[in-house]
Amino acid sequence: MSVVQSFDLTGKVALVTGGTKGIGRAVATGLAQAGAGLATVSRRPDPEFEQEVTALGRAYEHFAADLTHREQTKTVVPAVLEKMGRIDILVNCAGICPRTEVLDFAEADWDATLEIDLTASFVLTQKAGADMLSRGWGKVINVASVLAFQGGRNVPAYAAAKHGLLGLTKSFANDWAAKGVNVNAIAPGYFSTDLTSDLWQDPERYQAILERIPARRWGQGSDIAGLALFLASPASDYVNGSVFTVDGGWMSL
Protein backbone atom coordinates (compact mmCIF):
# COMPACT_ATOMS: atom_id res chain seq x y z
CA MET A 1 0.00 0.00 0.00
CA SER A 2 1.36 3.41 -0.98
CA VAL A 3 1.33 6.37 1.38
CA VAL A 4 -1.50 7.97 -0.58
CA GLN A 5 -3.52 4.74 -0.56
CA SER A 6 -3.15 4.49 3.22
CA PHE A 7 -5.46 7.50 3.57
CA ASP A 8 -8.29 5.81 1.66
CA LEU A 9 -11.27 5.03 3.90
CA THR A 10 -13.38 3.22 1.32
CA GLY A 11 -15.44 0.52 3.03
CA LYS A 12 -14.99 1.99 6.51
CA VAL A 13 -17.78 3.37 8.69
CA ALA A 14 -17.19 6.45 10.84
CA LEU A 15 -19.31 7.52 13.80
CA VAL A 16 -18.95 11.22 14.64
CA THR A 17 -20.70 12.78 17.63
CA GLY A 18 -21.57 16.43 17.21
CA GLY A 19 -21.07 15.68 13.53
CA THR A 20 -23.52 18.14 12.02
CA LYS A 21 -21.98 21.39 13.31
CA GLY A 22 -18.64 23.11 13.74
CA ILE A 23 -15.49 21.03 14.06
CA GLY A 24 -17.46 17.77 14.07
CA ARG A 25 -19.08 18.62 10.76
CA ALA A 26 -15.73 19.49 9.16
CA VAL A 27 -14.22 16.21 10.38
CA ALA A 28 -17.23 14.18 9.25
CA THR A 29 -17.11 15.80 5.81
CA GLY A 30 -13.42 15.01 5.42
CA LEU A 31 -13.92 11.36 6.37
CA ALA A 32 -16.78 11.04 3.90
CA GLN A 33 -14.68 12.65 1.17
CA ALA A 34 -12.02 10.02 1.86
CA GLY A 35 -14.54 7.24 1.25
CA ALA A 36 -16.08 6.43 4.65
CA GLY A 37 -19.73 5.76 5.27
CA LEU A 38 -20.94 8.15 7.91
CA ALA A 39 -23.08 8.10 11.04
CA THR A 40 -23.56 11.32 12.98
CA VAL A 41 -25.02 11.91 16.42
CA SER A 42 -26.62 15.16 17.52
CA ARG A 43 -29.88 16.31 19.03
CA ARG A 44 -31.36 17.27 15.66
CA PRO A 45 -30.68 16.16 12.08
CA ASP A 46 -29.41 18.52 9.40
CA PRO A 47 -30.99 17.70 6.01
CA GLU A 48 -28.57 19.98 4.17
CA PHE A 49 -25.57 18.13 5.59
CA GLU A 50 -27.15 14.79 4.73
CA GLN A 51 -27.48 15.94 1.12
CA GLU A 52 -23.82 16.96 1.05
CA VAL A 53 -22.71 13.51 2.23
CA THR A 54 -25.03 11.46 0.05
CA ALA A 55 -24.00 13.57 -2.97
CA LEU A 56 -20.55 12.06 -2.46
CA GLY A 57 -22.08 8.62 -2.88
CA ARG A 58 -21.58 7.69 0.77
CA ALA A 59 -23.96 5.86 3.08
CA TYR A 60 -25.28 8.23 5.73
CA GLU A 61 -27.38 7.87 8.87
CA HIS A 62 -28.19 10.41 11.55
CA PHE A 63 -28.94 9.29 15.09
CA ALA A 64 -30.76 11.72 17.37
CA ALA A 65 -29.54 11.61 20.96
CA ASP A 66 -28.92 13.97 23.84
CA LEU A 67 -25.59 12.82 25.23
CA THR A 68 -26.16 14.59 28.52
CA HIS A 69 -28.50 11.64 29.26
CA ARG A 70 -26.50 8.47 29.74
CA GLU A 71 -29.32 6.12 28.84
CA GLN A 72 -29.56 7.81 25.43
CA THR A 73 -25.79 7.62 25.01
CA LYS A 74 -25.88 3.88 25.61
CA THR A 75 -28.31 3.37 22.72
CA VAL A 76 -26.09 5.00 20.09
CA VAL A 77 -23.59 2.27 19.27
CA PRO A 78 -26.16 -0.56 19.11
CA ALA A 79 -28.31 1.59 16.81
CA VAL A 80 -25.38 2.37 14.51
CA LEU A 81 -24.33 -1.28 14.36
CA GLU A 82 -27.87 -2.32 13.52
CA LYS A 83 -28.13 0.20 10.68
CA MET A 84 -24.57 0.21 9.33
CA GLY A 85 -23.16 -3.13 10.41
CA ARG A 86 -19.85 -1.94 11.83
CA ILE A 87 -17.93 0.96 13.33
CA ASP A 88 -14.33 1.40 12.20
CA ILE A 89 -13.80 4.99 13.30
CA LEU A 90 -15.20 6.86 16.29
CA VAL A 91 -14.80 10.62 16.66
CA ASN A 92 -15.92 11.94 20.06
CA CYS A 93 -16.53 15.59 19.24
CA ALA A 94 -19.83 16.54 20.90
CA GLY A 95 -19.45 18.98 23.73
CA ILE A 96 -20.83 21.94 25.64
CA CYS A 97 -19.05 24.77 27.44
CA PRO A 98 -21.08 26.80 29.94
CA ARG A 99 -19.25 29.98 30.95
CA THR A 100 -19.88 31.32 34.44
CA GLU A 101 -17.64 32.81 37.12
CA VAL A 102 -16.46 29.88 39.22
CA LEU A 103 -18.15 31.03 42.44
CA ASP A 104 -21.49 31.05 40.63
CA PHE A 105 -20.97 27.94 38.49
CA ALA A 106 -24.08 25.76 38.85
CA GLU A 107 -23.85 22.10 39.78
CA ALA A 108 -26.32 21.31 37.00
CA ASP A 109 -23.93 22.84 34.44
CA TRP A 110 -21.04 20.90 35.98
CA ASP A 111 -22.95 17.63 35.75
CA ALA A 112 -24.14 18.19 32.18
CA THR A 113 -20.69 19.21 30.94
CA LEU A 114 -18.91 16.25 32.51
CA GLU A 115 -21.57 13.89 31.16
CA ILE A 116 -21.36 14.96 27.51
CA ASP A 117 -17.73 16.10 27.32
CA LEU A 118 -16.17 13.18 29.20
CA THR A 119 -18.48 10.37 30.25
CA ALA A 120 -20.16 10.04 26.83
CA SER A 121 -16.72 9.59 25.29
CA PHE A 122 -15.98 6.80 27.76
CA VAL A 123 -19.28 5.03 27.11
CA LEU A 124 -19.09 5.32 23.32
CA THR A 125 -15.43 4.34 23.15
CA GLN A 126 -16.03 1.29 25.31
CA LYS A 127 -19.00 0.12 23.24
CA ALA A 128 -17.65 0.98 19.77
CA GLY A 129 -14.23 -0.36 20.77
CA ALA A 130 -15.72 -3.79 21.38
CA ASP A 131 -16.75 -3.93 17.71
CA MET A 132 -13.34 -2.70 16.57
CA LEU A 133 -11.50 -5.22 18.74
CA SER A 134 -13.58 -8.04 17.31
CA ARG A 135 -12.05 -7.26 13.90
CA GLY A 136 -8.59 -6.24 15.12
CA TRP A 137 -8.66 -2.73 13.67
CA GLY A 138 -10.17 0.60 14.63
CA LYS A 139 -9.55 4.27 15.27
CA VAL A 140 -10.82 6.45 18.11
CA ILE A 141 -10.27 10.20 17.97
CA ASN A 142 -11.16 12.29 21.02
CA VAL A 143 -11.58 16.00 20.39
CA ALA A 144 -10.15 17.73 23.44
CA SER A 145 -9.01 21.38 23.64
CA VAL A 146 -6.01 23.48 24.52
CA LEU A 147 -7.86 23.83 27.83
CA ALA A 148 -6.82 20.24 28.44
CA PHE A 149 -3.50 21.90 29.34
CA GLN A 150 -4.79 25.17 30.78
CA GLY A 151 -7.55 26.32 33.10
CA GLY A 152 -9.21 28.93 30.94
CA ARG A 153 -11.55 31.53 32.39
CA ASN A 154 -14.97 30.77 33.86
CA VAL A 155 -15.05 27.25 32.40
CA PRO A 156 -14.19 24.90 35.30
CA ALA A 157 -16.33 22.00 34.07
CA TYR A 158 -15.09 22.20 30.48
CA ALA A 159 -11.44 22.42 31.57
CA ALA A 160 -11.86 19.50 33.95
CA ALA A 161 -13.60 17.39 31.31
CA LYS A 162 -10.94 18.07 28.68
CA HIS A 163 -8.13 17.31 31.13
CA GLY A 164 -9.92 14.05 31.88
CA LEU A 165 -10.35 13.26 28.20
CA LEU A 166 -6.59 13.19 27.72
CA GLY A 167 -6.25 10.69 30.57
CA LEU A 168 -9.02 8.62 29.04
CA THR A 169 -7.24 8.70 25.68
CA LYS A 170 -3.98 7.45 27.11
CA SER A 171 -5.64 4.76 29.23
CA PHE A 172 -7.61 3.24 26.35
CA ALA A 173 -4.58 3.53 24.06
CA ASN A 174 -2.41 1.58 26.48
CA ASP A 175 -4.92 -1.26 26.66
CA TRP A 176 -5.69 -1.47 22.94
CA ALA A 177 -2.46 -0.55 21.13
CA ALA A 178 -1.39 -4.19 20.75
CA LYS A 179 -4.86 -5.20 19.57
CA GLY A 180 -5.02 -3.06 16.43
CA VAL A 181 -7.11 -0.20 17.81
CA ASN A 182 -5.55 3.27 17.97
CA VAL A 183 -6.82 5.90 20.41
CA ASN A 184 -5.57 9.47 20.04
CA ALA A 185 -6.72 13.03 20.67
CA ILE A 186 -6.83 16.38 18.92
CA ALA A 187 -6.66 19.54 21.02
CA PRO A 188 -8.05 22.51 19.06
CA GLY A 189 -7.28 26.05 20.00
CA TYR A 190 -9.73 28.88 19.37
CA PHE A 191 -12.06 28.08 16.46
CA SER A 192 -14.98 30.09 15.11
CA THR A 193 -17.85 27.75 16.02
CA ASP A 194 -21.13 27.92 17.90
CA LEU A 195 -19.29 26.75 21.03
CA THR A 196 -17.16 29.91 21.09
CA SER A 197 -19.76 32.35 19.76
CA ASP A 198 -19.86 34.32 23.00
CA LEU A 199 -16.13 34.95 22.61
CA TRP A 200 -15.88 35.90 18.95
CA GLN A 201 -18.99 38.07 19.20
CA ASP A 202 -17.30 40.08 21.97
CA PRO A 203 -14.95 42.46 20.06
CA GLU A 204 -12.62 43.05 23.02
CA ARG A 205 -12.30 39.38 23.96
CA TYR A 206 -12.00 38.32 20.32
CA GLN A 207 -9.13 40.77 19.73
CA ALA A 208 -7.33 39.75 22.93
CA ILE A 209 -7.41 36.09 21.88
CA LEU A 210 -6.41 36.92 18.31
CA GLU A 211 -3.34 38.82 19.47
CA ARG A 212 -2.29 35.80 21.57
CA ILE A 213 -2.37 33.43 18.56
CA PRO A 214 0.93 33.42 16.61
CA ALA A 215 -0.90 32.58 13.36
CA ARG A 216 -2.95 35.76 13.85
CA ARG A 217 -6.27 34.10 13.01
CA TRP A 218 -8.88 31.91 14.61
CA GLY A 219 -9.16 28.34 13.36
CA GLN A 220 -11.67 26.99 10.87
CA GLY A 221 -13.03 23.46 10.72
CA SER A 222 -10.96 22.69 7.64
CA ASP A 223 -7.81 23.21 9.73
CA ILE A 224 -8.57 19.99 11.61
CA ALA A 225 -10.04 17.79 8.87
CA GLY A 226 -6.66 16.68 7.45
CA LEU A 227 -5.26 15.66 10.83
CA ALA A 228 -8.47 13.78 11.64
CA LEU A 229 -8.19 11.91 8.34
CA PHE A 230 -4.63 10.89 9.22
CA LEU A 231 -5.68 9.63 12.65
CA ALA A 232 -8.67 7.79 11.15
CA SER A 233 -6.66 6.03 8.45
CA PRO A 234 -4.10 3.22 8.24
CA ALA A 235 -1.47 5.95 7.86
CA SER A 236 -1.54 6.33 11.67
CA ASP A 237 -1.38 2.65 12.62
CA TYR A 238 1.69 3.24 14.85
CA VAL A 239 0.31 6.35 16.58
CA ASN A 240 -1.05 5.56 20.04
CA GLY A 241 -2.09 7.74 22.98
CA SER A 242 -0.90 10.96 21.33
CA VAL A 243 -2.39 14.45 21.58
CA PHE A 244 -2.07 16.84 18.65
CA THR A 245 -2.62 20.56 19.20
CA VAL A 246 -4.19 22.49 16.31
CA ASP A 247 -4.04 26.00 17.65
CA GLY A 248 -2.13 28.35 15.36
CA GLY A 249 0.77 28.21 17.82
CA TRP A 250 -1.22 29.09 20.96
CA MET A 251 0.51 26.48 23.13
CA SER A 252 3.99 27.37 21.88
CA LEU A 253 3.93 30.78 23.59
Q: Which of 158, 190, 206, 238 is catalytic?
A: 158
Number of neighbours of residue 2 by Cβ within 10 angstroms: 7
Cα R_g (the chain), whole angstroms: 17
Phi and psi (nearest 5°) for 44? Answer: -135, 145
Positive/negative CA dihedral, 50, 53, 57, 58: negative
| H or E stretch at 237 | none
Positive/negative CA dihedral, 185, 190, 196, 197: negative
In sequence order, the 6+-apart residues with CB closer than 8 A to the CB of 251 are 146, 149, 187, 189, 245
60 flagged as catalytic: no
Active site residues: 158
